[in-house]
Structure 1
Amino acid sequence: MFSIHILSRLFFVASLSSCATVTRSLQHDSPIPPSVPRLTDRFSHLPFDEAFSEFFGGPNVQRVSNGSYINLKLDNSSGSGFKSRSMYYYGFFSAAIKLPADYSAGVVVAFYMSNADVYPHNHDEIDFELLGHEKRKEWVLQTNIYGNGSVGTGREEKFYMWFDPTADFHEYSILWNSHHIVFLVDNIPVREVNRSVAMSRAYPSKPMSVYATIWDGSQWATHGGKKPVNYKFAPFVASLKDFEMEGCAWNQTKIAPPCPNNSQNSGLGLDPVGGQEFEELSDQQKVGMAWARNGFMFYSYCNDQNRFPVIPPECKEGK
């Protein structure tokens, strides 16, 4: 399970280290993002113990203030993580995360969906990966998707953030349905992956669990592995709260049913992201996504000719 998640990233370490040099300097004053609909206000927060169970790390998974938020620790004994008690087929999944402060090179904080434990040879993933750096404002946000075990074709995009992610909690959300996958930060879409003919085989199509982890990514996470974790600064602590998981719970059959549109289908209830408003981005959301991508994205696999001499077909469609 967890080892597969790590090894899938090591596959492309060498190519990531040859990415184009970042020329945009970080701003000291946080810019004001455009106004967008707050999807996180549409769904209820779930108590941690009701929604999640420990994944690994034992005492490094810490409940704080009666579970009002959770600390995940990485020290020289172990990382840590938790996973959802249910698997989901489509839905909206979100957590507010506050990242470790100070020196954090080599540290990876991930909020993601995966089914590698159930489908080890053809698994799906939808990933937020937050990659530590030498300075707290230089944390990097990486998004990625895998479909049907195609880990050899990472579809990474990397962003700087327009805020200090160590100073307060910020919302990281995934919208996944039959039309598209949308990655949102504080409700602003930063990436949209449309289901298309080009993406049909690689589009996540099986039920997945929701995970949150912190772990040692020394071999690849910071500058292609040039900056490993320095445990003199440990423990590294990521705090998480305001969990939202509104999706179609999988009924544990081998074949995932379509996410139902009415409560009489499969006994799974209404599809929470099946309405027309979730089929495509609104005009406000499109403006917000253009703002984030034009101002803060510094790497896209679609532009990496070292890794992909032939551009992936979905890139020609604008993903």
Structure 2
Amino acid sequence: MFIELAGMVPFVQSKGPIYVPPNVPKLTQRFPHAAVVQAYDNLYGQQNIHLLNNGSNVDLVLDKKSGAGLVSRNKYNYGFFSAAMKLPSGFTSGIVIAFYLSNSDVFPHDHDEIDIELLGHEKRREWVLQTNIYGNGSVHTGREEKLYLWFDPTTDFHEYSILWNNHHIVFLVDNVPVREFTNNVASSPVYPIRPMSMYATIWDASEWATKGGKYPVNYQYAPFVASFGKIELEGCQWNPDELCSKRALSSLEPDPVGGEEFAKLSQEQVNGMDWARKKLMFYSYCQDTTRYKLLPPECKS
């Protein structure tokens, strides 16, 4: 169910930028890029995983036979995770491109998950950004939010990022925060704290992705190609013998992601997030009183 929030400017299909976002700190410039072949292993659909530029970039392809997916070689206790993506153009209903953290391989029935999902649309270029969080087995309570993008994501690469530490989870698009989930008294019971792997996938979600499955994937327009580059995975790598084993890839010390600098958003980031949410968010689980007769506790905080 979609709920339109008061004050939202209706989305108008455009070949260029719809809005110009406020200036924000460029977090993606703070961390080094990793080659896809160094950071990820193939998860599935190997025939649809096409490495480019000596393994620095990758195209993930969806066709009638299969989708495709990658999984990080390391698990993380927390970190900053980012990728530049260029999305398929044309009729993309039913397609989901996901960039997310999960430990469902270790906890298959009560896992943690932090999702960026890009949902195709029955109209050209109207991709939707959906974010979601599951923590400590709260897999039966969706915490989805949905926003339109302020640009055409099919014509160029744009950066999609997740910051996850003990203080908060922040979702960013081109460094603009679009959602913050704070670790506080209300949210701590469902706050993800167990190690997770990072995934990148493209897949057929015809059953639910576009208006509850009304518009399935139309393979007349296949293959559908999602391009990834500028990979960043920085933070606390999980090690069973140590509290935290992290790569020395960043000049930020003592902790590149878990330290005080990343404990809260700056005023510029808060302004950017307010801008994005007021102009472009059209669904939040905290507004969905039809779905939830009793809203989750963090909605009241």
Same fold (TM over 0.5): yes
Q: Distance in 2 between matches of 1:166 and 1:87?
A: 30
Of residues 20, 35, 38 in structure 1, which corresponds to 2:3?
Answer: 20
Contact 1:146 1:202 in 2 (8 A): yes
Contact 1:260 1:271 in 2 (8 A): no
Q: Tell me which amino acid in the other structure corresponds to 2:130.
A: Q
2:173 matched residue in structure 1: 185
2:191 matched residue in structure 1: 203
Q: Distance in 2 between matches of 1:235 and 1:47?
A: 24
1:136 matched residue in structure 2: 124
Out of 279-288 and 132-141, give the one that drifted further. Answer: 132-141
Q: Distance in 1 between matches of 2:30 and 2:204?
A: 34
Deviations 1:10-57 (A, max 9, x none): xxxxxxxx3236872325352111000000000000011111110000
Shift of the 68–274 alpha-carbon distance from structure 1 to 2, 3 Å rule, reads closer
1:83 matched residue in structure 2: 71
Q: Distance in 1 between matches of 2:295 and 2:36?
A: 42
Cα offset, 1:135, TM superposition = 2.6
1:7 matched residue in structure 2: none
Which of 1 and 2 has higher RCO (CA within 8 Å, sep 6+)? 2
Alignment of 1:234-273 (within 5 A): 234-252=222-240, 257=243, 270-273=254-257
Contact 1:136 1:165 in 2 (8 A): no
Q: Distance in 1 between matches of 2:102 and 2:194?
A: 9
Shift of the 177–102 alpha-carbon distance from structure 1 to 2, 3 Å rule, reads same
Deviations 1:81-118 (A, max 9, x none): 10100000111000001000101000000000000001
Contact 2:74 2:238 in 1 (8 A): yes
Q: Distance in 1 between matches of 2:55 and 2:124?
A: 26
Deviating above 4 A after TM superposition, structure 1's stretches of 4 or more consecutive aligned residues are: none
Structure with greater strand percent: 2
Q: Does 1:50 align with 2:33?
A: no
Q: Give the secondary structure class of the aligned counterpart of 1:218.
A: coil
Identity of aligned residues (%): 60
Q: Tell me which amino acid in the other structure corresponds to 1:126.
A: I
Q: Does 1:126 align with 2:126?
A: no
1:106 matched residue in structure 2: 94
Q: Report the aligned-residue RMSD.
A: 1.8
Contact 1:91 1:271 in 2 (8 A): no
Q: Distance in 1 between matches of 2:4 and 2:276?
A: 19
- TM-score, with length taken from structure 2: 0.92
Structure 1 unmatched ranges of 5 or more: 1-17, 264-268
Cα offset, 1:120, TM superposition = 1.6
2:268 matched residue in structure 1: 284
1:172 matched residue in structure 2: 160
Q: Distance in 2 between matches of 1:217 and 1:59?
A: 20
Q: Distance in 1 between matches of 2:3 and 2:166?
A: 34
Of residues 53, 66, 71 in structure 2, which corresponds to 1:65?
Answer: 53
Q: Distance in 2 between matches of 1:192 and 1:260?
A: 26
Q: Tell me which amino acid in the other structure corresponds to 2:186.
A: A
Q: Does 1:225 align with 2:209?
A: no
Deviations 1:179-230 (A, max 9, x none): 0000000000000000011111110010100000000000110111111001
- TM-score, with length taken from structure 1: 0.87
- Give the count of matched residue pairs: 291
Contact 1:136 1:166 in 2 (8 A): no
Q: Give the secondary structure class of the aligned counterpart of 2:93.
A: coil
Cα offset, 1:61, TM superposition = 0.6
Q: Give the secondary structure class of the aligned counterpart of 2:74.
A: coil
Shift of the 48–314 alpha-carbon distance from structure 1 to 2, 3 Å rule, reads same
Deviations 1:275-317 (A, max 9, x none): 2221110000000000000000000000111110112110011
Q: Distance in 2 between matches of 1:72 and 1:37?
A: 30
Q: Give the secondary structure class of the aligned counterpart of 1:201.
A: helix
